[in-house]
Amino acid sequence: MSETSQQAVSILAVEDDPGDFGLIQAYARLDKLGINGGKEPLTWAKTLAEGIAAARSNKPDVVLLDLSLPDSAGLATVQAMRTALPGVPIVVLTGHDDSALAVAALQTGAQDYLVKGQFDHDALGRAVRHALVRNVLERQLSESVQRLELALTGGDLGTWDWHVPSGDIAFNQRGCEMLGYALNEIEPVITSWQKMVHPDDRPVINAALEPHLMGETQMYEAEHRMCHKDGHWVWVLDRGKVVKRDGEGKPLRVAGTYLDITRQKQAEKILMDSRNCLKEQVGKMTSQMKELRDEFEDVNTTLRVLLNNRDKDKSAAQDAMVREMSQEVAPFLLKLKKSIRDHKQARLLDVIENNLQQLASSYGNTNVCTLLFWQLTPVEIQVASMIKQGLSTKDIATALSLSPETINVHRKHIRKKLGLSSKADNLRSHLTSLPG
């Protein structure tokens, strides 16, 4: 005897025939159903009303229910007892060996079906125990389904279940609502689903689904669009798996879920548009910066040319002034200096000389005017200025890109023009002593 058979089982027998109840009682004792310290496991009720009242006062583990009672008959009896005792397994008893009635009773909610006069104590014990086990399994299955539904609802998932050979497909309520339909508004065939798929996305689906149906991948997954009842497109993440194949490995049943990812796709598009816009702006800024750089280079080049031309113009003006003073002004002033005898005229000549000295200073040569009075050439003036600064012949030659021998010739000319005929006269000292 199994462990289940040794456990105490309380049984409610709803049977109007005393003889049939006596037989049930004897079989229960023989099979030791619910024997627990000599306590009688059976409760007897002769009518449906008595049975419901007894069950409410002392809830049984299982009900043996006759379908022909004084106050109820047929399948309505099963329905009434299930309503009064939800969750308690029912084993139907009847005097008719009718398979159609048996199936109907099971569909109504009974766990098993026994024909009076055609079962013994073993059959009764087996029916009771099996009813108890099936009831537990059904309750666990119901709880699992509830948990699954809760998970699907919490995950906002639509479900589909496709019978491949027939083409039938079933959707859950959320799956239909996702597309704007009621559960009964979508025809439960695969072609209905296919019609709602965006034409451009069908190749994407086929590329993922066909290999899975052939057993080449673990599961099917695709992102695609489906047409909403209002006409707009809903992006979904569609996942599924073959859950049953035939002997040849062909798919018989495929089940899966789909999730509305429209907002995610919209966010991805906004992000992509922003990225493209930023990329375009960076490109424009890079181009503008290159143009500004080129314009700056052009301006800088122009400025360098202008500055170079200014320096050249200044140098040319200085050379022209030196040349003019050397050739015209200096000889005239020297001539006047040698010939003048009047004191006032001499002072006037000094004023003219000072003004010329200031003019020469604006061109960067503070000593040119004094030197011009001695009719020095421009090169001799440069050499004289460097001698006055204390530069050696070699340094002067390097600065003017001339040979030392040429510088020595210029030194001799300068000494001669300044009237330094004696070798004892120091040229630098004499130049330093000159005004300006």
**Helix and strand element counts for the chain (H, E):** 17, 12
Residues 293-335: pLDDT tens digits?
877 787 778 777 777 777 676 666 666 666 666 556 666 666 6
The answer to whether residues 343 and 419 belong to one domain is yes
Provide the pLDDT confidence category of residue 103 given band limits of 50, 70 and 90: confident
Asked if 23 and 135 sit in the same domain, the reply is: yes
Per-residue pLDDT at 93 exceeds 80 = yes
- Kindly list the distances between the CA atom of residue 389 and the CA atoms of 370, 375, 383, 428, in Å, as whole numbers in the listed order: 16, 20, 10, 8
What's the domain count of the chain?
Answer: 3
Which pLDDT value is given to residue 234?
94
* Nearest alpha carbon to residue 196 among 205, 61, 365, 371: 205
In whole angstroms, what is the distance from residue 187 CA to residue 389 CA?
111
Same domain membership, residue 396 and residue 344: yes
The pLDDT confidence band at residue 113, using thresholds 50, 70 and 90, is confident
On whether both 174 and 136 belong to a single domain, the answer is no
Which residue type, as a one-letter code, is found at position 56? R
What confidence tens digit (pLDDT) does each residue in 140-175 have? 666 665 555 555 555 578 888 999 999 999 888 888
Cα–Cα distances in angstroms (integers) from residue 140 to residues 146, 147, 386, 393, in the given order: 10, 10, 115, 117
Question: Does residue 282 form part of some domain?
Answer: no
Q: Classify residue 313: in a domain, yes or no.
A: no
Over its C-alpha atoms, the chain yields an Rg (Å, rounded) of 61
The CATH number of the domain holding residue 353 is 1.10.10.10
Per-residue pLDDT tens for 46-88? 999 998 998 888 888 899 888 888 998 888 888 898 888 888 8
- The pLDDT of residue 1 is 38
* 111 and 177 fall within a common domain: no
**What digits encode the pLDDT tens for the residues 286-302?**
888 888 787 778 777 87
- Statement: residue 359 has pLDDT above 70: no
Q: Whole domain around residue 347: which residue ranges?
A: 320-433
With contact defined as beta carbons under 8 Å apart, do 388 and 428 qualify? yes
Asked whether residue 311 is domain-assigned, the answer is no
Q: Is there a single domain that holds both residue 161 and residue 146?
A: no
Length, in residues, of the chain? 436
Residue 372, burial from CB neighbour count under 10 angstroms (0-12, 13-18, 19+) = buried
- pLDDT at 4 (0 to 100): 42
Domain identity same for 37 and 126: yes
Out of 150, 182, 200, pick the residue that ends a domain: 150
Q: Which residue, 150, 174, 189, sits at the end of a domain?
A: 150
The whole-angstrom separation of Cα 316 and Cα 323 is 10
Tell me, what CATH number does 164's domain have? 3.30.450.20
Looking at residue 95, which CATH number applies to its domain?
3.40.50.2300
Res. 188: pLDDT tops 80: yes
Residue 121: inside a domain, yes or no?
A: yes
Domain boundary among 192, 227, 260: 260
Q: Please, what is the average pLDDT of the chain?
A: 81
Residues 144 and 91 in one domain: yes
